[in-house]
Every structure is written in structure tokens, then in C-alpha cells.
Amino acid sequence: MAQAGGSHDRDDVSPLQKYMLMCTELKAELKTTKDQLESLETLRRATVESLIKQAEALPVDSLLKFTGALVEMLVNRHNISFDSSKEELIKAITARIAEHQMPARKRPGIGVAVFVLSEKHPESILLGRRRGSVGQGLYQVPGGHLEFGESWEQAAYRETLEETGLHIHNITLCSVMDTIQKEHDYHYLTVFMRGYVDETR
């Protein structure tokens, strides 16, 4: 009987031991929860960085659509609530995006000027008088802005035809002049071309 009683006493757990056991279990649970939160935070940072990289590559109009769609998804699909309404939140984010938009980089203008020659009139070039407000009355060769996707030769042909009605051929490069006037916020690249009047037209 004494032996049975002694065994029963050894199996009993004192209140202090129970408390220590509960503390150990709670500590393990807290560590597990902490590890899970750290994993979620790592995932959150990676997701945010990925979204930011995608957003930085988008033009402004697409970025605003992307922001609106993201807010809609968080509210409707994931039941995430915000202090403001969806409309107010999108408006606030849009304003923040506009504040941090990098100013567009200025690029130099590019134009083409054409020395129009004629085999019938050697050692002569065609000049015209300006009619616009800038340089009105001055003589100059045909020319204008280079359009997107045009080669210099194509621009020279087009500008000559538009301004004089003449077709030219044997179009070649003469020179390039780079004009920079920082004090006047001016930078223009002029490509000088040469072409002969097509006498067959």
C-alpha cells in the first residue's frame, strides 16, 4: 500500500509545475506565432516591392488604373477595410502619385534642312522666304522637324515636296549642327541634307 501511495504521489503534478508547463507551452505557441508573423511580413515586403517595381514601369494613366484595381481587390476579395471609402482612398493615392512623378526629361528637337540643287543651275541652291511670325521675310532653305520613324533622307524629301512642290533625288548628308543655348532653354539638332531636283517630273 505504501508503495502504491508513493507512486501516486510521484505522478501528481504540483500547481507550480503546472504553471511552469503552461508557460513552456505558451512560449512555444508565441514562438510559432512570431515565426508566422515574420514569414507574413517577409511575404508582404516582397509583394510590395514587386508591386512598386511594376508600378514604376507604368505610364501615369495605367498606374492610376492599376491602383484602383488593387484597392478594389483588397476591399472586395480580401475584405480588407480602410478608414476611408474606396473612392477617397483612390483619390488620395492618385494625389500622392502625382506629387512624386518625375518631371519628363527634356530632349533636343531635331530638324532637317535641305540644300536643293539643280543640274540645270549649277552652283546655285534654292531659297525661300519665311512667312511665319518667327524670322518673317528671311531667306532660308526648305526644312522642318524630323517626324517619328523617318530617316533623314525621307524627311528631306518630304519637307522639300511640301514647301516647294519639287521632287528631289540623290539625297545625301552634308553636315549636322548642334545648337545649345542653356540660358534660353534651347537645344536643337539640325541635319543638313543635299538633294537634286528630279527634272523628269
Residue 112 near residue 156 (C-beta atoms within 8 A): yes
| pLDDT of the residue at 197 | 95
Task: Identify the DSSP state of 136.
Answer: T
Give pLDDT < 70 ranges for the chain: 1-12, 48, 51-52, 54-58, 60, 78, 80-84, 86, 89, 97-104, 133-134
Domain span at residue 113 reads 109-197
Whole-number Å distance between alpha carbons of 82 and 77: 14
Burial of 112 (0-12, 13-18, 19+ CB in 10 A): buried
Whole-number Å distance between alpha carbons of 120 and 18: 114
Whole-number Å distance between alpha carbons of 194 and 154: 12
The model scores a pTM over 0.85:
no
| pLDDT of the residue at 198 | 94
Residue 160 near residue 195 (C-beta atoms within 8 A): yes
Which domain-ending residue is among 99, 124, 149? 99
Whole-number Å distance between alpha carbons of 180 and 102: 24
| pLDDT of the residue at 114 | 97
DSSP 147-174: PTT--HHHHHHHHHHHHH---EEEEEEE
| pLDDT of the residue at 45 | 77
Is the domain of 80 the same as that of 153?
no
Cell numbers placing 98: 502625382
Is the domain of 141 the same as that of 178?
yes
| pLDDT of the residue at 71 | 75
| pLDDT of the residue at 2 | 46
Residue ranges of the alpha helices (H) in 1-59?
2-11, 15-56
Select from 151, 159, 147, 152 the least CA-distant residue to 116.
159
pLDDT cut 70: percent of the chain above it: 79
Domain membership of residue 26 (yes or no) is yes
Is the domain of 78 the same as that of 147?
no
Amino acid at 6: G
Whole-number Å distance between alpha carbons of 24 and 32: 12
120, containing H or E segment: none
Is the domain of 69 the same as that of 140?
no
Domain membership of residue 52 (yes or no) is yes
Is the domain of 113 the same as that of 77?
no
Residue 138 near residue 129 (C-beta atoms within 8 A): yes
Report the CATH number at residue 171.
3.90.79.10
Residue 148 near residue 142 (C-beta atoms within 8 A): no
For the stretch 88-129, pLDDT in tens is 767 777 777 666 665 667 889 999 999 999 999 988 999 998
Residue 141 near residue 125 (C-beta atoms within 8 A): yes
Domain membership of residue 2 (yes or no) is no
